[in-house]
Amino acid sequence: MEIISKFKTVGMALAIGSFMFACSQETQNETNEEVNEAQAEMSEANMEAKSSYNEFATWVNTSTERAENVTADEYREMRAEYKRREAELEAEASDWDDETRQEWEETKAEWNQFENKVQERLGKIDDIDVDVDVKREKN
C-alpha cells in the first residue's frame, strides 16, 4: 500500500510538473508576442515623431533661407507658425530618442539665428500689430 501511495505521489508530481512546463511555455510565447507588438507600436510611433520633426525641420530650413528678403509681415506670420509648430513638437519631444532631441535643439538654434538676422535687418518686430482708434471725451 505504501508503494502504491509513493507511485501516486511521484505520478502526481510528474503530471503537475509537465502541466507547469506546458503552461510556462504558453505564457512565454504569449509574452513574447506582446513584447513584439509593443516594439512594433513603439517603432511606428518613433517613425511618426521623426517624420513630423523632419517636416518641421525642412520648413525651418526653407524659411531661414529667406532671412535677407523677408518682410515684417511675412516674418510675423512665419514666427506665429513656428511657435504653433514648436508647441506641438515640444509636447511630443519627451518620447523622442537622443538623436532626434539633439537635432531638435539644433533646429531651434537655427531658427534663433534667423530671428536675430531678421531683427537686425528690420529692427524689433512686435507680434501684435495694433491699430487703435480712440475717441477722448473732453471735460
Label residue 9 by pLDDT band (50, 70, 90). Answer: confident
**CB distance 93 to 67 below 8 Å:** no
Domain residue spans of the chain: 2-122
pLDDT at 137 over 80: no
Label residue 130 by pLDDT band (50, 70, 90). Answer: very low
CA 131 – CA 129 distance, rounded (Å):
7
How far is CA 94 from each of CA 97, 103, 108, 115, rounded to the nearest angstrom?
8, 14, 16, 26
pLDDT at 115 over 60: yes
Task: Indicate the pTM of the whole model.
Answer: 0.59
CB atoms within 10 A of CB 100: 19
CA 81 – CA 105 distance, rounded (Å):
18
**CB distance 49 to 96 below 8 Å:** yes
| pLDDT tens per residue, range 37-51 | 777 777 777 777 778
